[in-house]
Amino acid sequence: MTRAGTGYSNKTNSFEAGAEAASLARQQAGITSNCSLVFMFTTSRHLPAQFAAGVRSIINEAEIFLGGCGVGVITNDHLGYDGYQSGVALIESDTIHMDAFLQRNINNNEYKTGLELGQQINETVFDGELNLLVFYDAVNRTSGKLQMTMGTSFVKGLYGGMPSLPVTAGGGLTGDMQFSKSFQWWQQEIISCSAFALGFSGAARMHTTIMHGCMPASAYHTITKADNSVVLEIDNEPALQFVQRIIGDQSGLSFENFGFFLTIGINHGQEYEAFDTNNYSNCMCVNIDKKRQGLVMVENNLQAGMRIQLMRRSLDFNYIYEATDNLLKEIDVQQRKPVIAFYIDCVGRAAYYLGSDKEEAAEVQMALKNKVPLLGFYSGVELAKVGNSLQPLDWTGVLAIISE
């Protein structure tokens, strides 16, 4: 039998927040004080030790106790960001097997971390099909200055250690939009700059869908020069100059104003075929390299030779409800029962940052209402398979539902 529940809190006192969220999750799950998995997210405003203590005041024993930072949290009835939001998911099951894996020191070490994590998972024998949730600390402040952890390198390493990567979803963790140093919980420890994976096997299956609502809004162009995460040239023109020309020299907008809205899309399907949202992965720009007139991207996955398009973000969120509902129907057709849903949602999609008056995550809440417990968080980067290949994605909502 499997029981699962999620709980939310907005209390500023970290201990009380942990206790409240855990208590609500326990109530929803209908479990007592012990469970198989405790999975937690808070914003970086919280004190992690106190929060964990609050959760433990409700859940005495958990085989797996882990979690990390999010810019905000989403549950069935609540969502919020930039404040003191926190969320807890609990699962107790004797049919779904859960395993957790940790690899430390991802800072400036993304490939090796992914490789060793992949190897750890690959060397483990699972009961039945494996389904993975993978998370990593997206913030590297070990040098004092901000460096984003490169998900592309991490994913490459993951494939290196586990060439047949199963159904996988996840994200890069950040606790606020200023990318302060973030933290992860691993059993009794509080750590930073780590990557962890949660494996579901036994009776479990994971069903995923990616939602970005972006449409191509330009012709195809070619990256002609790139250096790690910096796109230096597009169509042999300095990248920044290219973008400013396209936006219009008379717009009066500086990069500071428009940079957040610059999304570059890669079509993993056939060029010039009818648009298929599932074929696209999006990359966001976070800064400019003024000296080299380049665009600093979140990830280092844009390389010379790649064909790209500028993408437009849709403010019509119907597609989110439909995609979520379709996923539930897919589970139903397979005669399976949804146990718990995880929504890894790019913080850029939150209404405040998007410039919308509605929250797109509310569509997920609506579609899942009274059907399955939901725990989501606002992330810096999302991980999901596009086609058959795990990709770091931007401006994407990844919904993963565990069924049995």
| Contact positions vs other proteins (CB under 8 A) | 12, 45, 47, 49-50, 82-84, 177-178, 217-219, 243, 245-248, 251, 253, 256-258, 260-262, 309-310, 312-313, 352-357
Please tell me the distance from the alpha carbon of residue 359 to that of residue 343, in angstroms, as a whole number: 14
Burial class (CB in 10 A: 0-12, 13-18, 19+), 52: buried
Name the minimum Å distance from CB 253 to other proteins: 6
- State the DSSP H helix or E strand holding residue 118, giving kind and residue range, or none if neither: helix 110-122
Name the minimum Å distance from CB 80 to other proteins: 8
Instruction: Kindly state the DSSP code that residue 128 receives in the 8-state scheme.
Output: S
Name the minimum Å distance from CB 63 to other proteins: 28
Give 144 or 163: the residue with its C-beta nearer to other proteins.
Answer: 144
Name the minimum Å distance from CB 278 to other proteins: 21
Q: What angle do CA 295, 297, 302 make, to 5 degrees?
A: 95
Residues 6+ apart with CB under 8 A from 15: 50, 51, 53, 54, 57
Give 88 or 354: the residue with its C-beta nearer to other proteins.
Answer: 354
Task: Look at the block and give the residue holding tokens 């797109």.
Answer: 360
- Tell me the sheet residues that pair with 131: 167, 200
Give 15 or 200: the residue with its C-beta nearer to other proteins.
Answer: 15
Give 236 or 370: the residue with its C-beta nearer to other proteins.
Answer: 236
Name the minimum Å distance from CB 355 to other proteins: 3
Give 47 or 362: the residue with its C-beta nearer to other proteins.
Answer: 47
Name the minimum Å distance from CB 49 to other proteins: 8
Per DSSP, the residues of 149-175 read: --HHHHHHHHHHH-SS--EEEEEEE-S
Give 199 or 259: the residue with its C-beta nearer to other proteins.
Answer: 259
